C-alpha cells in the first residue's frame, strides 16, 4: 500500500460525458501528479501540483483539468469524453517538488462507451 | 516521441541468477532516473533512483547503473527471485522542469523457479 488513495477504482461512462477522479496523497506529501496509461501510449505525464499550485504540465488535453485543494487532495476532471480517453489514470504524490521518487495509487480505470 | 526506451519487451531468468534490465534515453538533459516495478491491477511501485552526478546506486538486491555518455541505464537484480516477476519501467526527468517523469514502455520480467 503506497498510501495514495484514488477513487473510484472503476468508472464506465458514455461519450460526451464528464467525470471527476479523486486522489488523496500520502500524509505529508505536498506534490501530486496525474498520469495516464493507455495501451498504445504507455504511462504519460499529465500534470503536477505542489502545495496547491500547478508546477508542471505535460500533454494534457484542453478537455482535461485538474486542481489541488487546500487539504492537498487533488481532482482530475475529464469532459466531453471520447472513446480514446479510455485508460488507466494514476495519481502519485511526493514530499518534494523535484528530484524525488513519486508514490503511485492503484489507479482509476476509465472506460468510455 | 519516445524519449525513454526499453527495447526488450520481455526477459526470462532462472531463480538465483542475475536479471539485467536495460533502458536508453535520448534527452541528454535528463538528470534524475528511476526504476519502478508494476504488478497487474496495481500502480507502479518505486524501486530505486539515481541522480546524474552518480554512475551507480545500490539498494539491497537492486543496483542501478548510469552511463551518461551512452545515455543508457540498467537495473541489476541479484539474486533474482520469483516474486520479482513483474513489469519494470524506467523513468527519467529533467529537474529544472519539475518532477515530470518520462516512462519507458516496460520490460516484463519472469523469474523461473
pLDDT tens per residue, range B43-98: 999 999 999 999 999 999 999 999 999 999 999 999 999 999 999 999 999 988 87
C-alpha grid cell, residue B5: 526506451
The fraction of chain B above a pLDDT of 90, given in percent, is 90
CA of A68 vs chain B CAs: smallest distance (Å): 16
Q: Report DSSP letters for A35-73, one per residue.
A: EEEETTTEEEEEEEEETTEEEEE-S--TTEEEEE-TTS-
Contacts with B, A 87-106, CB within 8 Å = 90, 92, 94, 96-106
Contacts of B46 in chain A (CB under 8 A): 101-104
Contacts of residues A64-67 at CB distance under 8 Å and 24 or more positions apart, as own/partner, are A66/A34
The length of chain A in residues reads 113
Residue B96, phi then psi, degrees to nearest 5: -65, -15
pLDDT bin (cut points 50, 70, 90) of residue A87 is: very high
User: Which has the closest alpha carbon to A4: A102, A76, A80?
Assistant: A102
Amino acid at each position: 500500500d503506497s498510501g495514495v488513495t484514488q477513487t473510484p477504482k472503476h468508472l464506465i461512462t458514455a461519450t460526451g460525458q464528464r467525470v471527476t477522479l479523486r486522489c488523496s496523497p500520502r500524509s505529508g506529501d505536498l506534490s501530486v501528479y496525474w498520469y495516464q496509461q493507455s495501451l498504445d501510449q504507455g504511462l504519460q505525464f499529465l500534470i503536477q501540483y505542489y502545495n496547491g499550485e500547478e508546477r508542471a504540465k505535460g500533454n494534457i488535453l484542453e478537455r482535461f483539468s485538474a486542481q489541488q485543494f487546500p487539504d492537498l487532495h487533488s481532482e482530475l476532471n475529464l469532459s466531453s469524453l471520447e472513446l480514446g480517453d479510455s485508460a488507466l489514470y494514476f495519481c502519485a504524490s511526493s514530499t518534494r517538488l523535484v528530484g524525488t521518487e513519486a508514490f503511485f495509487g492503484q489507479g482509476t480505470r476509465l472506460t468510455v462507451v | 516521441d519516445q524519449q525513454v526506451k526499453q527495447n526488450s519487451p520481455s526477459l526470462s531468468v532462472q531463480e538465483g541468477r542475475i536479471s539485467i534490465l536495460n533502458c536508453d534515453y535520448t534527452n541528454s538533459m535528463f538528470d534524475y532516473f528511476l526504476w519502478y516495478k508494476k504488478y497487474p491491477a496495481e500502480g507502479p511501485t518505486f524501486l530505486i533512483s539515481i541522480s546524474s552526478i552518480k554512475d551507480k546506486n545500490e539498494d539491497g538486491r537492486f543496483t542501478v547503473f548510469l552511463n551518461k555518455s551512452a545515455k543508457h541505464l540498467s537495473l541489476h537484480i541479484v539474486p533474482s527471485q520469483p516474486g520479482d516477476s513483474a513489469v519494470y519501467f524506467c523513468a527519467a526527468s529533467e529537474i529544472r522542469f519539475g518532477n515530470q517523469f518520462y516512462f519507458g514502455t516496460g520490460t516484463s520480467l519472469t523469474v523461473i523457479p
